[in-house]
Amino acid sequence: MAIAEIFSPRTAGSNEAPRPIARAVDRTPDFSGEGMQALRSWVDEIATLTQPARIHWVDGSRAENEALLRGMVDEGRIIKLNPEWRPGSYLARSHPADVARTEGRTFIASEREEDAGPTNNWAEPTAMRAELEGVFAGSMRGRTMYVVPFSMGAVGGPLSHIGVQVTDSAYAVVSMSIMTRVGEAVTELIADGADWVRTVHSVGAPLAPGQEDVPWPCNDTKYVVHFPETLEVFSYGSGYGGNAILAKKCFALRIASVIGRDQGWLAEHMLLIRVIDPQGRAYHVAAAFPSACGKTNLAMLRPTIPGWRVETLGDDIAWIRPGEDGRLWAINPEAGFFGVAPGTGESTNVTAVETLWGNTIFTNVALRPDGDVWWEGLTDEAPANLTDWEGNAWTPDSGRPAAHPNSRFTVAAAQCPQIAEDWDAPQGVPLDVILFGGRRATNVPLVVEATDWAHGVFLGSTISSERTAAAEGTLGELRRDPFAMLPFCGYNMGDYFGHWLSVGNKLRFDRAPRIFQVNWFRRGSDGRFLWPGFGDNSRVIDWIIRRISGEVDAVESPIGRLPHTEDLNLDGIDVPQADLDELFAVDPASWLREADLTEEFYATFNGKVPAALQAELSSLRYRLKAAQ
């Protein structure tokens, strides 16, 4: 252990010069250059503010990762699962009040309020910086501050971006090591002068000397703050998911969407797959569905129709850029999956079940007496005795779920049995199809084809979806979630709509991906899902691929193009004709009400919604009235 000279904290509001103090640093990377100087002084600055007891520069090695996990087990932070069933795997139980993203405490601190827009919480940056200095002052006392250099996308790739997260959570470090490419290759790029994004995370639970720690430290006060002009993130008070794995939603969506706006590309909340038809032709599909609305499931699709195959490329985020060939090229910037556990089972997502054979961190699922894990939907029948996600004894009669509805698994993408061989190719894949979807019990058909790019952007901008457990809020409440980006767009959503239109203008007319809207969640009047979903969603993909190949006609409807139901391959499943009719029913009266709501939604943007989308809304109304 080397001892580094660094400086004591500035107390908020004081002009006193910082005093040098000694702090343990276990090893600093051996790079020089101006970039390294900048990194070191930033780390010193954060340490000066947050006052950690130790600093650990993460090198990304396997030995380091194992030591971190062992240390967390010894400290009672995570439970090692029985290696006979789940080798190399662990269970973490969060604080019961720290279980999902906190959208109400997520801020965009842009210089102008208008640049955050009506869908974000705006904070004035100077005041927010002062507030954060107060909050972070001494927040890492008694803890280790880890310095985590990471790359989103292959290290050094043309579509990749790098960043550094400092955090006082070992759980965040081991999660980042799965979800991103962590290691000294990134530090070397920084040392050589590459641009990087600064992200700071503290659970907000400093330890006084001798104070006993808790397994999941966090703070009732939470902040997830983005400074889009300076490309910085500060997150405080939460150790969970997108609040703590800052490379994910904070960087790869909110900050990256701003970089994309300025550089002419798109950072999207989308899964990415390669679909291979029975003739062996490959198509690339990206799909935006809101949180907990089926991205991981579609990303790992096992088609139930013979001859079709799906290869997984990504399950949550896609970075998409117009290429010189007039097509859109996409990468998955992540390296792992942070997936919803409940509902993941042999009959719904067997690929995920196989992916989770080992080397997985589970959070807030139930523990079996034999040291394996369980959650609702993993098997049809619940085991007789479990320990629930809060650590209490549980039986099927307990009357509450054993796993938290937003319980999750964290696992390397490379472990997925159907991962595409070239899933981390730096240049990405060319897109053929873009899907927009949501969780809609009524109104929205199983599949609708957009008539052109502008109509597709209109469909994306009007997505609404019933709320899920992925974020705090009222379950089931219908809310607008344009492009599934409502909680993730780092700038004014009205400008974002315009950006989508301008990206479309850069594409060759015959090479732009075709856009479709899908809804796996329509329900009958008796409340049951009308569509079997999961593997059978391949039947919808099959129709979409035959549409873009010009093999089938569609039916014009006021809201877009629908399939002739006889063109859907329904061999081997039993969907009654009445259900099919209901799946594709378009009721002009209720769609006119949707159009009124869209008008109200658009009006919140103070004139920033592009004229082309307003025109789409007008012509939708015209077509609906004509159909009445």
**CA-based nearest residue to 539, from 523, 520, 515, 559:** 520
Count residues binding ligand GTP (CB under 6 A): 22
Pick one of Mn ion, ligand GTP, ligand SPV, none as the site partner of residue 529 (Cβ within 5 to 8 A by kind): ligand GTP
156, 189 Cβ separation under 8 angstroms? yes
Q: Taking CB under 6 A as the rule, does residue 297 contact ligand GTP?
A: yes
DSSP label at residue 80: E
Give whichever of 241 and 342 is closer to ligand SPV, judged by the CB atom. Answer: 241
337, 363 Cβ separation under 8 angstroms? no
Binding site for ligand SPV (CB under 6 A): 101, 241-242, 248-249, 291, 316, 338, 470
Pick one of Mn ion, ligand GTP, ligand SPV, none as the site partner of residue 342 (Cβ within 5 to 8 A by kind): ligand GTP
Q: Taking CB under 6 A as the rule, does residue 436 contact ligand GTP?
A: no
> What residues contact residue 16 under an 8 Å CB cut-off, 6+ apart?
10
Which one of 125, 142, 342, 445 is in contact with ligand GTP (CB under 6 A)?
342
User: From the CB of 98, what's the least distance to Mn ion, in Å?
Assistant: 18
User: From the CB of 261, what's the least distance to Mn ion, in Å?
Assistant: 20
Asked whether the CA dihedral 571, 441, 300, 347 is positive or negative, the reply is: negative
Give whichever of 108 and 562 is closer to ligand SPV, judged by the CB atom. Answer: 108
Which one of 60, 157, 339, 610 is in contact with ligand GTP (CB under 6 A)?
339
The backbone region for 173, taken as left when phi is positive above 0, alpha when psi lies in -120 to 50, beta otherwise, is alpha
Q: Write the burial class of residue 430 (CB in 10 Å: 0-12 exposed, 13-18 middle, 19+ buried).
A: middle
CB atoms within 10 A of CB 581: 11
Pick one of ligand GTP, ligand SPV, Mn ion, none as the site partner of residue 539 (Cβ within 5 to 8 A by kind): none
Q: Taking CB under 5 A as the rule, does residue 316 contact Mn ion?
A: yes
Six-digit token pair at 402? Answer: 């054993």
Give whichever of 289 and 329 is closer to ligand SPV, judged by the CB atom. Answer: 289
Give whichever of 119 and 291 is closer to ligand GTP, judged by the CB atom. Answer: 291
**Phi, psi values for residue 173, rounded to 5°:** -65, -50
Which one of 295, 368, 522, 621 is in contact with ligand GTP (CB under 6 A)?
295
Give the H/E segment covering residue 167: strand 161-167
**CA-based nearest residue to 497, from 480, 514, 511:** 480
User: From the CB of 285, what's the least distance to ligand GTP, in Å?
Assistant: 15
4, 52 Cβ separation under 8 angstroms? no
Pick one of ligand SPV, Mn ion, ligand GTP, none as the site partner of residue 333 (Cβ within 5 to 8 A by kind): none
546, 567 Cβ separation under 8 angstroms? yes
**Amino acid identity for residue 397 in this structure:** D
CA pair distance 69, 499, nearest whole angstrom: 43
The piece of 131-139, 214-222, 289-297, 437-445 that touches Mn ion (CB under 5 A) is 289-297
Q: Three-state SS for 507? A: coil
> What residues contact residue 11 under an 8 Å CB cut-off, 6+ apart?
137
Give whichever of 47 and 293 is closer to ligand SPV, judged by the CB atom. Answer: 293
Pick one of ligand SPV, Mn ion, ligand GTP, none as the site partner of residue 101 (Cβ within 5 to 8 A by kind): ligand SPV
Q: Taking CB under 6 A as the rule, does residue 622 contact ligand GTP?
A: no
Pick one of ligand GTP, Mn ion, ligand SPV, none as the site partner of residue 583 (Cβ within 5 to 8 A by kind): none
User: From the CB of 248, what's the least distance to ligand SPV, in Å?
Assistant: 5
CA distance to 75, 418, 613, per residue, from 285 (Å): 44, 15, 24
Binding string, 467-486, against ligand GTP, x = CB under 6 A?
Answer: ---x----------------
Dihedral of CA atoms 369, 416, 568, 589 in degrees, nearest 10, equals 70
CB atoms within 10 A of CB 137: 17
Catalytic-role residue among 218, 293, 416, 489: 293
Q: Is 293 a catalytic residue?
A: yes
Pick one of ligand GTP, Mn ion, ligand SPV, none as the site partner of residue 463 (Cβ within 5 to 8 A by kind): none
E strand residue ranges, 26-160: 54-57, 78-80, 90-92, 106-108, 121-122, 144-152
User: From the CB of 54, what's the least distance to ligand SPV, in Å?
Assistant: 27
Which one of 520, 543, 591, 601 is in contact with ligand GTP (CB under 6 A)?
520
Give whichever of 99 and 624 is closer to ligand SPV, judged by the CB atom. Answer: 99
Give whichever of 35 and 241 is closer to ligand SPV, judged by the CB atom. Answer: 241
Q: Three-state SS for 143? A: coil
**Residues labelled as active-site residues:** 293
Provide the binding-site residues for ligand GTP, judged by CB under 6 A. 289, 291-297, 315-316, 339-340, 342-343, 348, 470, 520-521, 529, 533-534, 537
